[in-house]
Amino acid sequence: MTTAVSLSAEAIADRVRDAQTRGARLRIAGAGTWLDAGRPVGSSEELSLAAHTGITEYTPGDLTLTARAGTTLREIRDAVSPHGQWLALDPFGSDEGTLGATIATASAGPLATRFGTPRDLALGLEFVSGRGATVRGGGRVVKNVAGFDLTRLLTGSWGTLGVITEATVRLHARPEADVTLAVSPSDDRIDVGGVRAALKRWPFVPLACEVVNDSLGRELGLGGEAVVFRLGGNSESVAEQRRAIAELAGGPAREVDPSVWRSLRAADDDATLVLRVSRAPAEVSAAWADATALTAPFASARVSASPARGIVRCATQAVGASIEQYASTLAGLRSRIVAERAPVHLWNAPPLARAADPLQSRIRDAFDPQRILNPGILGERAVS
Amino acid sequence: MTSSRGALAPASPPPAIDRSLADRLAAIVGDKRVLFRPSELLTYASDALPSYHKQPGLAVFPGTRDEVVAVVRELARSNVPFVPRGAGTGLSGGALADGAVLVGLNRLTRVIAVDPENLTATVEPGVVNAALSRAVAPHGLHYAPDPSSQAACTIGGNVAENAGGPHCLKYGVTTNHILAITALLPNGEIVSLGSASGETDGYDMVGCFVGSEGCFGIALDITVRLTRNPEAVRTILADFLSLDAAARAVTSIVATGIIPAALEMIDQATIRAVEASIYAAGYPTDAAAALLIEVDGADAGLERDVATIESICNSSGARTVRVARDEAERARLWQGRKKAFGAMGRISSHLVVQDAVVPRTKLPEVLDKVRRIGEDLRLRVANVFHAGDGNLHPNIAYDANDPDESARVQTAMHAIMRACVDAGGTITGEHGIGIDKLQYMDLIFSPDSLAAMCSLRDVFDPDRRSNPGKVVPMHSCREWHGARSARQDAAKGPPVA
pLDDT tens digit sequence for B227-256: 999 999 999 999 999 999 999 999 999 989
Indicate the pairing of strand B356-357 with strand B391-392. antiparallel
User: Which residues are B233's β-sheet partners?
Assistant: B296
AA identity, residue B253: I
B479: confidence class by pLDDT, cuts 50, 70, 90:
very low
Judge whether A100 and A164 are in contact, CB under 8 Å. yes
Judge whether A34 and A159 are in contact, CB under 8 Å. no
AA identity, residue B41: L
H helix intervals, B268-395: 268-275, 302-315, 327-338, 340-343, 363-376
B16 pLDDT exceeds 70? Answer: no
How far is the C-alpha of B449 from the C-alpha of A367, rounded, in Å?
Answer: 11
What 3-state class would DSSP assign to B31? helix
Cβ-based neighbour number of residue B73 at 10 Å: 16
What 3-state class would DSSP assign to B144? coil
Task: Note the pLDDT of residue B492.
Answer: 46
How far is the C-alpha of B435 from the C-alpha of B93, rounded, in Å?
Answer: 5
Contact B195 A338 (CB under 8 A): no
What 3-state class would DSSP assign to B99? coil
Listed residue (A207, A114, A234) closest to B305, CA to CA: A234
How far is the C-alpha of A62 from the C-alpha of A170, rounded, in Å?
Answer: 9
Task: Note the pLDDT of residue A8.
Answer: 83
Task: Note the pLDDT of residue B483.
Answer: 44
- Give the burial class of B446: count Cβ atoms within 10 A of its Cβ; 0-12 exposed, 13-18 middle, 19 or more buried: middle
Contact B357 A357 (CB under 8 A): no
The residue of A148, A237, A313, A363 whose CB has the most chain B CBs within 10 angstroms, and thus the best one to mutate to test that interface, is A148
Task: Note the pLDDT of residue B269.
Answer: 92
> Taking CB atoms and an 8 Å cutoff, what residues of chain A touch B208?
148-149, 152-153, 363
Contact B118 A134 (CB under 8 A): no
The residue of A127, A135, A144, A145 whose CB has the most chain B CBs within 10 angstroms, and thus the best one to mutate to test that interface, is A145
| Chain B residue nearest residue A377, CA to CA | B202
| Average pLDDT, integer, range A195-212 | 95
Task: Note the pLDDT of residue B494.
Answer: 42
Contact B359 A141 (CB under 8 A): yes
- In eight-state DSSP terms, residue B400 is T
Cβ-based neighbour number of residue B492 at 10 Å: 9
How far is the C-alpha of B464 from the C-alpha of B286, rounded, in Å?
Answer: 51
> Taking CB atoms and an 8 Å cutoff, what residues of chain B touch A156?
203-204
What 3-state class would DSSP assign to B439? helix
User: Which residues are B466's β-sheet partners?
Assistant: B82
C-alpha distance from B400 to closest chain A C-alpha (Å): 27
Q: Estimate to the nearest angstrom the gap between the alpha carbon of A365 and the chain centroid.
A: 26
Q: What is the pLDDT of residues A125-167, one digit of tens each?
A: 999 999 999 999 999 999 999 999 999 999 999 999 999 999 9
Judge whether A135 and A127 are in contact, CB under 8 Å. yes
Cβ-based neighbour number of residue A83 at 10 Å: 16
How far is the C-alpha of B75 from the C-alpha of B98, rounded, in Å?
Answer: 16
AA identity, residue B292: L
- How many Cα atoms sit within 13 Å of B236 on the Cβ side? 28
Task: Note the pLDDT of residue B61.
Answer: 98
Indicate the pairing of strand A336-341 with strand A302-306. unpaired
Contact B445 A106 (CB under 8 A): no
Contact B197 A310 (CB under 8 A): yes
How far is the C-alpha of A11 from the C-alpha of A35, rounded, in Å?
Answer: 22
How far is the C-alpha of B278 from the C-alpha of A343, rounded, in Å?
Answer: 68
A188 pLDDT exceeds 70? Answer: no
* DSSP string computed for A135-171: EEEE-SSS----SS-HHHHHTTSTTSSEEEEEEEEE-
What 3-state class would DSSP assign to B336? helix
Residues A47/A48/A53/A57 CA torsion (nearest 10 deg): 40
Decide which of B73 and B485 is more confident. Answer: B73
Residues B448/B452/B454/B456 CA torsion (nearest 10 deg): 180
Indicate the pairing of strand A45-48 with strand A26-29. parallel
A333: confidence class by pLDDT, cuts 50, 70, 90:
confident
How far is the C-alpha of A123 from the C-alpha of A144, rounded, in Å?
Answer: 8
Contact B426 A161 (CB under 8 A): no
Q: What is the pLDDT of residues B379-399, one digit of tens each?
A: 989 999 999 999 999 999 899
A56 pLDDT exceeds 60? Answer: yes
> Taking CB atoms and an 8 Å cutoff, what residues of chain B touch A64?
359
Mean of all residue pLDDT scores within chain B = 91
C-alpha distance from B214 to closest chain A C-alpha (Å): 11
Q: Which of left, alpha, beta for B264 (phi over 0: left; psi -120 to 50: alpha)? A: beta
Q: What is the pLDDT of residues B140-185, one digit of tens each?
A: 999 999 998 999 999 999 999 999 999 999 999 999 999 999 999 9
How far is the C-alpha of A327 from the C-alpha of A352, rounded, in Å?
Answer: 9
B487: confidence class by pLDDT, cuts 50, 70, 90:
very low
Mean of all residue pLDDT scores within chain A = 91
Judge whether A238 and A179 are in contact, CB under 8 Å. yes
The pLDDT > 90 percentage for chain B reads 83
3-state DSSP of B434-458: CCCCHHHHHHHCCHHHHHHHHHHHH
How far is the C-alpha of B215 from the C-alpha of B183, rounded, in Å?
Answer: 12
How far is the C-alpha of B426 from the C-alpha of B449, rounded, in Å?
Answer: 15
Contact A152 B424 (CB under 8 A): no
The residue of B203, B225, B358, B427 whose CB has the most chain A CBs within 10 angstroms, and thus the best one to mutate to test that interface, is B203
Judge whether B175 and B202 are in contact, CB under 8 Å. no
Cis peptide before B462 (omega within 30 of 0): no
Q: What is the pLDDT of residues B111-125, one digit of tens each?
A: 999 999 999 999 999
Whole-Å CA distances, A360 to B157, B181, B456: 24, 15, 11
| Chain B residue nearest residue A202, CA to CA | B298
Task: Note the pLDDT of residue B8.
Answer: 30
How far is the C-alpha of A84 from the C-alpha of B333, rounded, in Å?
Answer: 33
Q: What is the pLDDT of residues A258-285, one digit of tens each?
A: 999 999 999 988 898 999 999 999 999 9
C-alpha distance from A222 to closest chain B C-alpha (Å): 29
C-alpha distance from B378 to closest chain A C-alpha (Å): 29
Contact B424 A140 (CB under 8 A): yes
Cis peptide before B14 (omega within 30 of 0): no
> Taking CB atoms and an 8 Å cutoff, what residues of chain B touch A237?
298, 300-302, 304
Task: Note the pLDDT of residue A346.
Answer: 85
Range in A100-114, A156-170, A177-191 with the lowest mean pLDDT: A177-191
Whole-Å CA distances, B182 to B129, B179, B395: 18, 11, 36
| Chain B residue nearest residue A138, CA to CA | B426
| Average pLDDT, integer, range B337-349 | 84
Task: Note the pLDDT of residue B199.
Answer: 82
Indicate the pairing of strand A172-173 with strand A177-183. unpaired
Judge whether B370 and B383 are in contact, CB under 8 Å. yes
How far is the C-alpha of B107 from the C-alpha of B45, rounded, in Å?
Answer: 19
| Average pLDDT, integer, range B312-334 | 96
Nearest Cβ partner for A148 among B115, B212, B446: B212
Contact A234 B301 (CB under 8 A): yes
Task: Note the pLDDT of residue B488.
Answer: 47
What 3-state class would DSSP assign to B388? helix
Q: What is the pLDDT of residues A289-331, one digit of tens each?
A: 999 988 887 778 999 999 999 999 999 987 766 777 788 888 8
User: Which residues are A304's β-sheet partners?
Assistant: A212, A313
Q: Estimate to the nearest angstrom the gap between the alpha carbon of A322 and the chain centroid.
A: 26
Contact A141 B357 (CB under 8 A): yes
Contacts of A140 (CB under 8 A, 6+ apart): A57, A64, A66, A123, A124, A168, B359, B424, B426
A176 pLDDT exceeds 50? Answer: yes
B438 pLDDT exceeds 60? Answer: yes
Instruction: Quote the Cα angle for A140-A146-A149, to 5°.
Output: 85
Residue B116 backbone phi and psi in degrees, to 5: -65, -25
Contact B199 A61 (CB under 8 A): no
Cβ-based neighbour number of residue B135 at 10 Å: 18
Predicted ipTM > 0.90: yes
Cβ-based neighbour number of residue A319 at 10 Å: 10
The residue of B201, B308, B422, B437 whose CB has the most chain A CBs within 10 angstroms, and thus the best one to mutate to test that interface, is B201
B3: confidence class by pLDDT, cuts 50, 70, 90:
very low
> Taking CB atoms and an 8 Å cutoff, what residues of chain A touch B2?
133
| Average pLDDT, integer, range B19-26 | 95
Beta strands in B168-267 (DSSP E): 178-184, 190-194, 218-225, 227-228, 232-240, 262-267
B197 pLDDT exceeds 90? Answer: no
